[in-house]
């Protein structure tokens, strides 16, 4: 049996462990310092898309992953909290409207299923929307969102049914290295022999890699996605909404509704920096959302702690075995919710079958030297 230890049970570790444990001859052990999903995956806005991803090569990687979600959902055949329906956005000032039209035109030429829509089409899709000025609007039909806790839970259960073992509250502190390879992974109270170690440890990947003298630089990228109390269903068709700022003092807003009726609301761009986890900020965000969705009048805002995006220094994923430690595999990325099905399946090919996936060529760890 090839013993694979996965350090971290977020969405990337869980997706990978699910795929690996379906292979004969591979024994998967998850070591998770907290509980599964406690890292970035639990704080994510979890919009699965390739909308704003550039350059084209990276857009295509995300697009492939988006399409793979549909197959993975079919294969898992369980409640993974997947919300189909697409993403709708609009702009209320001429300059931003022109940027939106240009972006839609560009990603249409890349084959992205999106289009400009009219105000009437917007209201046909989402009748509860209260619309003021609409200079331009678009609809990206394939986009989805995921309830990451449900997905992680299903993947870990399936992996365990196939023989994997999950150790929560088991933080990795050290690697035993012999002749340049890792032979065991240590936690504070146990040691796990291994043939391959995968770092799927989110923002902690940099520190853990440095224990094996591997350099994976990151930048800090704090963000906030607030929750609300349960509300009646307000989004009937689309799964994600991006709304413009209501005035110069506010930022854009993004919003999704979960199966239980609660909302998740963030502001600014997908990489926007935000450290304000106060009740005041959460209330302000919800007030802004109410301007567009008066039907959520009774909802209350629940502030959430800051989440840190795993963010490689150049913004692109890090995927591959480390040159200096040939049995150490690194998986570090922003947009990990989008990329999870692709990373899970393709990294399994690299680990189980020893191939090199061409798509990963720009994203190898050695680019950092
Ligand atoms: C505010 C915010 C919004 C986002 N929005 C989106 C979005 O809309 N779409 C999208 O695709 N992506 C989004 N992301 C990014 C996405 O959430 C992440 O890329 C993804 O969750 C990364 O998953 P992961 O499994 O690699 O890391 P994590 O979820 O962070 O999991 C790493 C796990 O490793 C564990 N760990 C750490 N150190 C150790 C150790 N020493 N020993 C054992 N275990 C350890 C942690 O406890 C954690 O559970 C967002 C992120 C944030 C924070």
Residue 255 CB less than 6 A away from ligand 1: no
The residue nearest atom 52 of ligand 1, judged by CA position, is 44
- Closest-CA residue to 229 (of 297, 174, 158, 301): 301
Which residue stretches of 126-268 are H helix? 148-161, 205-211
pLDDT (0 to 100) of residue 44: 97
C-alpha angle with apex 82: 329 to 233, nearest 5 degrees? 145
Best of 14, 224, 334, 339 to mutate for ligand 1, by most ligand atoms within 8 A of CB? 334
Best of 310, 329, 340, 343 to mutate for ligand 1, by most ligand atoms within 8 A of CB? 310
Measure the N-to-C terminal CA separation of the chain; round to a whole number of Å: 33
- Ligand 1 centroid vs 44 CA: distance in angstroms? 8
pLDDT surpassing 80 at residue 330: yes
Residue 344 CB less than 6 A away from ligand 1: no
Residue 38 CB less than 6 A away from ligand 1: yes
**Structural domain boundaries in the chain:** 2-44+148-220+310-368, 87-141+222-308
pLDDT (0 to 100) of residue 113: 98
pLDDT (0 to 100) of residue 6: 99
pLDDT (0 to 100) of residue 11: 98
pLDDT surpassing 90 at residue 360: yes
- Ligand 1 centroid vs 310 CA: distance in angstroms? 6
48's CB contacts (< 8 A; 6+ apart) are: 65, 66, 69, 143, 144, 145, 146, 337, 338
pLDDT (0 to 100) of residue 329: 98
Tell me how far the alpha carbon of residue 8 is from its chain's centroid. 14
To the question of pTM greater than 0.85 for the whole model, the response is yes
Give the CATH number of domain 2-44+148-220+310-368.
3.50.50.60
Residue 20 CB less than 6 A away from ligand 1: no
Q: What pLDDT band is residue 199 in, cutting at 50, 70 and 90?
A: very high
Q: What percentage of the chain exceeds 70 in pLDDT?
A: 100
The third-level CATH classification (topology) of the domain covering 87-141+222-308 is: D-Amino Acid Oxidase; Chain A, domain 2 (3.30.9)
Q: Mind listing the pLDDT tens digit for each residue in 259-311?
A: 999 999 999 877 888 888 899 999 999 999 999 999 999 999 998 999 999 99
- The number of beta carbons lying within 10 Å of the beta carbon of residue 134 is 17
Residue 340 CB less than 6 A away from ligand 1: no
Please give the average per-residue pLDDT across 24-49, as a whole number.
98
Q: Mind listing the pLDDT tens digit for each residue in 105-146?
A: 999 999 999 999 999 999 999 999 999 999 999 999 999 999
Q: Mind listing the pLDDT tens digit for each residue in 76-93?
A: 999 999 999 999 999 999
User: What residues does 30 pair with on adjacent strands?
Assistant: 6, 166
Exposure string over 31-65, b if 16+ CB within 10 A, otherwise e: bbbeebbbbbbbbbbbbbbbbebeeeebbbbbbeb
The residue nearest atom 3 of ligand 1, judged by CA position, is 44
């Amino acid at each position: 049996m090839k013993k694979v230890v996965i350090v971290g049970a977020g969405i990337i570790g869980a997706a990978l462990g699910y795929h690996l444990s379906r292979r004969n001859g591979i024994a998967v052990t998850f070591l998770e310092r907290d509980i599964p999903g406690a890292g970035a995956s639990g704080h994510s806005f979890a919009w699965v898309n390739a909308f704003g991803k550039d350059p084209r090569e990276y857009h295509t990687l995300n697009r492939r992953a988006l399409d793979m979600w549909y197959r993975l959902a079919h294969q898992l055949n369980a409640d993974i909290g997947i919300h189909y329906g697409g993403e709708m956005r609009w702009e209320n000032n001429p300059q931003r409207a022109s940027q939106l039209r240009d972006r839609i035109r560009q990603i249409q030429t890349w084959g992205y299923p999106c289009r400009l829509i009219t105000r009437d089409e917007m209201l046909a899709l989402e009748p509860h929307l209260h619309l003021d000025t609409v200079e331009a609007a678009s609809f990206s039909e394939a986009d989805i969102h995921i309830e990451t806790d449900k997905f992680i839970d299903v993947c870990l259960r399936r992996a365990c049914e196939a023989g994997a073992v999950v150790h929560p509250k088991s933080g990795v502190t050290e690697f035993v290295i012999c002749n340049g390879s890792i032979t065991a992974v240590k936690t504070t109270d146990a040691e796990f022999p291994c043939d391959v170690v995968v770092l799927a440890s989110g923002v902690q990947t940099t520190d853990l890699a440095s224990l094996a003298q591997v350099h994976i630089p990151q930048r800090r990228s704090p963000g906030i996605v607030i929750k609300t109390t349960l509300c009646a269903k307000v989004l009937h068709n689309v799964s994600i909404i991006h709304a413009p700022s209501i005035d110069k003092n506010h930022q854009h807003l993004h919003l999704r509704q979960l199966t239980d009726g609660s909302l998740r609301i963030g502001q600014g761009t997908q990489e926007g920096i935000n450290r304000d986890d106060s009740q005041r900020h959460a209330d302000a965000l919800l007030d802004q959302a109410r301007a567009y969705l008066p039907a959520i009048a009774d909802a209350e805002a629940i502030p959430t702690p800051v989440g840190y995006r795993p963010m490689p220094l150049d913004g692109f994923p890090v995927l591959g075995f480390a040159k200096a430690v040939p049995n150490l595999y690194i998986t570090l990325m922003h947009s990990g919710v989008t990329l999870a099905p692709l990373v899970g399946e393709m990294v399994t090919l690299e680990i189980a079958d020893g191939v090199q996936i061409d798509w990963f060529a720009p994203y190898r760890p050695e680019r950092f030297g």
